[in-house]
Structure 1
Amino acid sequence: MEQEMGEMDEGEGWTITRTIKKKDLKKMDEQLDLLWAMGELKEREKVEKGLLSNSNSNQEEWEINPNNIIFKALVSKGTSVEIFRGFYDDQDVTVKVFDWREKIQNPNNLPMIMSLFKEEISFWYTIDHPNIIKLIGAKIDEPEIILRGDNHEIRVFSNMTYVVVEYLSGGTLKSFLSKNRENKLALKTVIHLALHLARGLAYLHSWKLIHGNVKPENMLLDKNFKLKITDFGTCNVEISSHEEVTSDSATDTISYMAPEVINSKPYDRKCDVYSFGICLWEIYCCDMPYPNIGFSELTSAILYENMRPEIPKHCPEALANLMKQCWDTDPSKRPEMEEVVWMLEAIDTSKGKKVKWLDVQSCFCIRK
C-alpha cells in the first residue's frame, strides 16, 4: 500500500487536507533535476557566448575578409604596391594591396607604426566627407589569400595588407589634367576642383591629421567631376615634437614636397599646404611643374634657389597670390587650409581668362 503524506492548509475558515503520494514526490524530484540541468546548460551557453563575443571584440569594425574580393583588373603596379579594380559586397571597388612593413628600416618601430596605421584606418572608416574617398574596409597582414579574377587567374598573396575603397569612374586628377593640356580649363572648373581638394585637406587638418602625399595622382574624380582625396597609406598623425622625419615617409616624388620635408626636417600640416599650392598651379596650367629637370638638380634648386613653377601672366591676381602664399619657404607664413577655402570661395570666376598655351610652353619654373 502506498504511503501518503498529509498537508494542512487553512483558509477562510475551512481546513483542507492535501494528499501527496510518494511516487508523486519522486516525479517532482526528477522534474527539479531536469530544471537544474537546463539552468546549467543555459549558464554554459551564456559563458560560451561571452567567450565568442570576447574573441570577436578583437576584430575591428573595419576589418574585412579579403577572400571575398573579386579582382577584376590590375590598374597599376609599383615596387611595393598593386592597385586593382574589383568587386566586394555587391559594389565596384578599388583595392590597394601592399606590404606596409617593407619600407620600415628599424624593426623596433613596428609596434608603434602598426598602432598608428590602425588608428588612421579606424578614423578613415568613420569619415563621411564628400571630398574624401570612402573606405569600405581593410585587412592588415592577412597570412594568405588566393586571388580570384574574372579571367580565372590564380595568384597567391602572403602577409599582405588590403585596403578597399569605393570605385570612382572619372580616373585620377592627373590623367584629367593631361587630357586638357592643350585646351586648358575654364577658371570656374579650376576653382571647382581646387575647392574640393582644399575642403578635403581642411577636414583632415581639423582632426590633426596630415596627408603627406598630396599630388594629382592621389586625387580621384567621379562621373560628375567631384574630386575626392585618396591614398591614406601614408597619412600621419601630426608631428608636434622635433623628431627627425625622413622624406621617404611623405611621398615618392619631390615635385610636390615642401622644402622642410625634402630636407628631412620636422614638418606638420603646413607641408600639405605647400603641396596644395603646387597642385593649384598644375590644375590651372594643366601641365607638369618641373619638366625635364633631374632629381638632384631639382632638389638643389628647391632647397637653395627657391625654385617654384612660373605663374602665367593671365592668371587672376587673387589666384596667383594664393599659390605664392601656399608654397612659401617658411611654413609659418603659409595659410591654414581653412583660410585657403575662404580665399578660393571669394574668387570671382566670372572674371579671369584661361591660361594660354604660349604663356607656359617656354618657361615652367622660376628661381627667386
Structure 2
Amino acid sequence: MTLIKEWIEEKIKNGKIRYFDNDKFSQIVKIGDGDFGQVNKANLADIGLVVLKFFLNKNSDKAYDKFANELNLLHEIDYQNINRVLGITENLESYILVSEYANGGNLRDYLKKEFTSLKWSDKIQMALDITNGLKFLHSKKNNPWKFVNNGKLLIADLGLTKMIGEIRSCYLMDDDYKMKEYIDPQRFKNIGCKKDKKSDIYSLGVLLWEISSGYPPFLNLSIHEIAFHILYMNLREEPIEGTPAKYQNLYQECWDFEPKSRPDIEEVYEILNRLKNDL
C-alpha cells in the first residue's frame, strides 16, 4: 500500500494527475453506489459538473489497489467515446476519482426518456458509439460502462451505478451477480470461467437488443430466474417488430451460447457501419 500511495503522490507531483482541493466542489448529490463507496455528481469550480467516485477506507489495501488501478487505467485513455478522468481529490476517509459527467445519465435512463423520438438511424448510431468505445477498450484490455454525453454514448466505470453502464462490466460488467441479464451464460455454467472479450460480446448483444426495444431485458423475471432460464433453457429476448433483419441477426450472433460462434468486436463494428450507410 505504501508503494501505491507513493506512486499516486509522485504522479500528482509530476503533473501526470491533477489534484483538486476538496473545497472546489459544491452542490454535491449522490447518484449511486460503487464497489468501494458512493458515486456523486458535483459542481467543480471552473469546470462544471463532474462525477465523484469514492474509494472508502484509505487504510484498506484492496481499496488502494482498486483506486490506483482505475486511476492508472482511465487516466491513460483519451478517446471520444470514453469518459475522461479529470483528476483526484480526497477527504478524511476516501480517495475520490473525479471524472467527466455524462449529462444524459446512463443508457437505460436515456432510452426511457428519449426512445419514442429515436429513429433507427439514431439507434444504429448509439450501437456504433458503444461498439466503437468497446473496440478501443478491447485494444487496451479494459472493461466498460455506457453513458451519454452531448449526443455521444460514452463508456465509463461508475462501479454498477444502477446500470450497465454499464456497464464493466462490463461490461461489460464488473459484478456478475447484479447484472445477470447481461452475463455470459458460460459464467453460470462454470463459476470459475474468466470473463474475456467474447464475454463482452455477449453483453454487447444484449445491449443491442435493449437499444432496439427501449426497455431492459427480462423485466418480469427475478435475477435467479434469469440465470436458470438462460443457462438451462437458452432463453433470449424476442426480436422487436420493425427491427432491421441484419441488426437482429447481429445481436443474436453476439449472444450465442458458444463463445467461439460470437463475432469479434471489429466485425460487429463493420456490420453496424454498413447498416448505418444502408439506412
Q: TM-score range by the shorter chain?
A: 0.7 to 0.9
- 1:134 paired to 2:84: yes
- 1:267 paired to 2:195: yes
Contact 1:92–1:166 (CA<8 Å) still a contact in 2?
Answer: no
Contact 2:39–2:158 (CA<8 Å) still a contact in 1?
Answer: no
Please report the TM-score for the alignment, with normalisation by the length of structure 1.
Answer: 0.62
How many equivalent residue pairs? 257
Contact 1:260–1:267 (CA<8 Å) still a contact in 2?
Answer: no
Question: Percent of pairs identical after alignment?
Answer: 28
Q: 1:174 to 1:310 in 2, by over 3 A?
A: same
- For residue 314 of structure 1, what is the aligned residue in structure 2? 242
- 1:94 paired to 2:50: yes
Please report the TM-score for the alignment, with normalisation by the length of structure 2.
Answer: 0.79
- 1:345 paired to 2:267: no
Contact 1:85–1:92 (CA<8 Å) still a contact in 2?
Answer: no
- For residue 303 of structure 1, what is the aligned residue in structure 2? 231
**In the TM superposition, what whole-angstrom CA distance separates every residue of 1:8-66 from its partner, at most 9, and x where no partner exists?**
xxxxxxxxxxxxxxxxxxxxxxxxxxxxxxxxxxxxxxxxxxxxxx9963647225245
- For residue 57 of structure 1, what is the aligned residue in structure 2? 10
Contact 2:128–2:272 (CA<8 Å) still a contact in 1?
Answer: yes
Match 1:71 to one of 26, 30, 42: 26
- 2:8 & 2:113 partners in 1: Cα distance? 51
Contact 1:184–1:284 (CA<8 Å) still a contact in 2?
Answer: no
- 2:202 & 2:244 partners in 1: Cα distance? 19
* Structure 2 counterparts to residues 1-368 of structure 1, below 5 A: 57=10, 59=12, 61-62=16-17, 64-78=19-33, 81-88=37-44, 90-99=46-55, 110=61, 114-115=64-65, 117-139=67-89, 142=90, 145=91, 158-181=92-115, 183=116, 185-211=118-144, 218-223=145-150, 225-231=151-157, 233=159, 249-250=175-176, 252-262=178-188, 263-264=190-191, 265-348=193-276, 351=279
Contact 1:194–1:283 (CA<8 Å) still a contact in 2?
Answer: yes
- 1:228 & 1:55 partners in 2: Cα distance? 26
- For residue 40 of structure 1, what is the aligned residue in structure 2? none
Q: 1:78 to 1:186 in 2, by over 3 A?
A: same
In structure 2, runs of 5+ residues without a counterpart are: 1-6, 161-167
Q: Which amino acid aligns with 1:76?
A: I
- 1:200 & 1:256 partners in 2: Cα distance? 18
Q: 1:232 to 1:250 in 2, by over 3 A?
A: farther
- The SS at the match of 1:307 is coil
Q: 1:167 to 1:250 in 2, by over 3 A?
A: same
In structure 1, runs of 5+ residues without a counterpart are: 1-53, 146-157, 212-217, 237-246, 352-368
Contact 1:196–1:226 (CA<8 Å) still a contact in 2?
Answer: yes
RMSD of the TM alignment (CA)? 3.0
| Shift of residue 202, structure 1, vs aligned partner | 0.4
- For residue 164 of structure 2, what is the aligned residue in structure 1? none
Larger Rg: 1
- For residue 150 of structure 1, what is the aligned residue in structure 2? none
| Shift of residue 88, structure 1, vs aligned partner | 2.8
- The SS at the match of 2:88 is strand
- The SS at the match of 1:347 is helix
